[in-house]
Chains A and B, each alone.
Chain A
Amino acid sequence: MSIDIETARRVAKLARIRVDEAGLPALAGELSGIVQFMEQLNEVDVTGIEPMTSVTPMRLKRRADIVTDGNIQGAILKNAPDAREGFFAVPKVVE
């Protein structure tokens, strides 16, 4: 299966990465090459095989449901590109 320009545009949109119109044909070509490489997987008989969900057969640990930190608003906002009045600031989302 090869990826056409329309699919490349849709994937870029879903990934929230801006790609110029002029860049789409090259992107489609690169993605097609990788997808073709992946298609070797179709040769494998996977009948009755469960998809692997955990790497090691151990139960995930659960921790106690307690507060372990807090009151660190300053630390959380420290690296924000735009923080105002104790909030992350972004362009208007709701009219």
Chain B
Amino acid sequence: MSAAANTLTVAAARDALRRRELSAVDLTMACLTAMDAADSLNAFVHKTPEIALAQARAADARLAAGAAPDLCGIPLGIKDLFCTRGVASQAASNILRGFRPEYESTVTSQLFAAGAVMLGKLNMDEFAMGSSNETSCYGDAVNPWRRAGDDTALTPGGSSGGSASAVAADLCLAATGTDTGGSIRQPAAFTGIVGIKPTYGRVSRWGIIAFASSLDQAGPMTKTVRDAALLLGAMAGHDPKDSTSADLPVPDFEAALTGDIRGKTIGIPREYRMDGMPAEIEALWASGTAMLKDAGARIADISLPHTKYALPAYYVIAPAEASSNLARYDGVRYGHRAKLAQGDGITEMYEKTRAEGFGKEVQRRVMIGTYVLSAGFYDAYYNRARKVRALIKRDFEQAFATGVDAILTPATPSSAFGLGEMAHADPVEMYLNDVFTVTVNLAGLPGIAVPVGLDAKGLPLGLQLIGKPWQEAELLNHAYVLEQAAGFVAKAQKWW
């Protein structure tokens, strides 16, 4: 079975490992082989086979002793945004070239404590700013999916593009992602996998390179909803090192997957039916709605009146926080420092270092953030955006107060587009990719993307379910029902 062990789900591999039908070392070797044969996807950007094999050997010993955790011996890919001790962690930015943290992020610490195996670090948009993985200093990650009869390279989405590509191509069993405006859910939808952004505060942000601290949240990217439940259980939990992490018990998410949503109410927000929405997306949404109805849920038309203002509010708040968070990259304590000319002082050092180290999109967002926070504009932009954010959150609270248990929406406005196709687009056009996902970050809610079908070009399309705060268990169960009903089993045809 080891020849195709890399194609297993986490749950299936767990069961095979526990029955000792498969060793963690063989499973890890299968993934390392698949990873090395997939350089054309540019998903893994720092490979760590020695660490992986050492962890796999330790996992085998633990499995032999019995009572090993679910993730013991499971090979994962880790987004480059997570600090991993002694291993390059550079947020796909040249400004962190050569940075090897002396510490381990809380999420990766917890995964490793649970016995997980790290295969390497995964490509992403620089500082998680992007929706196509095209702002990476490592170059584009490539989607394993292609349009039928067409070998145009497509984006895996972003910012967790490498994570999405690696999971969809079976290079790892699952991966970590992070989501500030849709960076887990949009790439999951573009590659036919599952991705969940938990409630803000469910997963510790400590040791994850910060983009926008009030929006950032890590989560798993997996082949199935059950795998997402397993990973999330290991990633979540209170962390004294992150003052925004919630001191709440972590439920058994897998046990919540009963497949029974009879009597639950699913809200369909009318404002998500955007002008010019492709008929295929509309049809997918209708069919997902029908699937949940057939499973015994009640369907309710709901209104989230401030939806239209979520993207402009996000593009004030996220850059404002980013400009503050990224002030630390000054060429003094870590990462890149520009070569200085005779007579250059400390200001020239900062300005040259940041001009050389940050890519174009990051520079643009830092400057927009600087502008909206500057004297005279703070109230007009930043404070107004935070008020609109309060209204967006209130919209959801009011919908849930009417008895809605979960909300169903499209995950993305289209299927994966071609790499380079948006190169001459306005930055704002690229931002529209996040139109269905960004509200969830602003409101701090959990959201999950589930693959539901293929479009006419043969590319995966996903739907998003949005849950109540801290109700990931219930949300995962809704997603599980949708997954079972949709029966999405298509895989990308191997060309890499």
Contact = CB atoms under 8 A, between A and B. Distances in A.
B206 interface: no
Contacts of A41: 309, 312-313, 316, 381, 384-385, 388
A3 B244 contact: no
Tell me the dominant secondary structure on chain A's binding face: loop
Contact of A51 (B99, B245, B370, B383): B383
A37 B428 contact: yes
Contacts of A53: 386
Contacts of B100: 78-79
Interface string B392-407: 0100000000000000
B312 A37 contact: yes
Interface residues of A, number: 52
Contact of B391 (A39, A46, A56, A80): A46
B57 interface: no
Tell me the dominant secondary structure on chain B's binding face: helix
Given A50-B390, A55-B214, A79-B99, A40 B201 contact: no
B371 interface: yes
Contacts of B240: 61, 63
Given A50-B387, A52-B387, A92 B345 contact: yes
Which among B309, B333, B387, B389 has the highest number of chain A CB atoms within 10 Å? B387
Interface in A9-30: 11-12, 14-19, 27, 30
A95 to B, nearest CB: 10
B243 A37 contact: no
B147 to A, nearest CB: 30
Given A17-B366, A52-B389, A88 B355 contact: no
A35 B370 CA distance: 12
Contacts of A12: 367
A75 interface: yes
Contacts of B384: 41-42, 44, 46
Contacts, number: 168
A17 B351 contact: yes
Nearest to A40: B312
Nearest to A37: B428
A19 to B, nearest CB: 7
B351 A79 contact: no
B323 interface: yes
A82 B366 CA distance: 25
A77 B368 CA distance: 32
Given A31-B368, A44-B309, A91-B340, A61 B247 contact: yes
B298 interface: no
Given A33-B426, A79-B334, A14 B346 contact: no
25 contacts: A8-B367, A11-B374, A16-B354, A18-B355, A30-B364, A31-B364, A37-B311, A37-B431, A38-B312, A40-B312, A41-B312, A41-B381, A44-B309, A50-B390, A51-B386, A52-B389, A52-B393, A55-B201, A56-B199, A75-B103, A78-B100, A78-B102, A88-B333, A90-B346, A92-B345
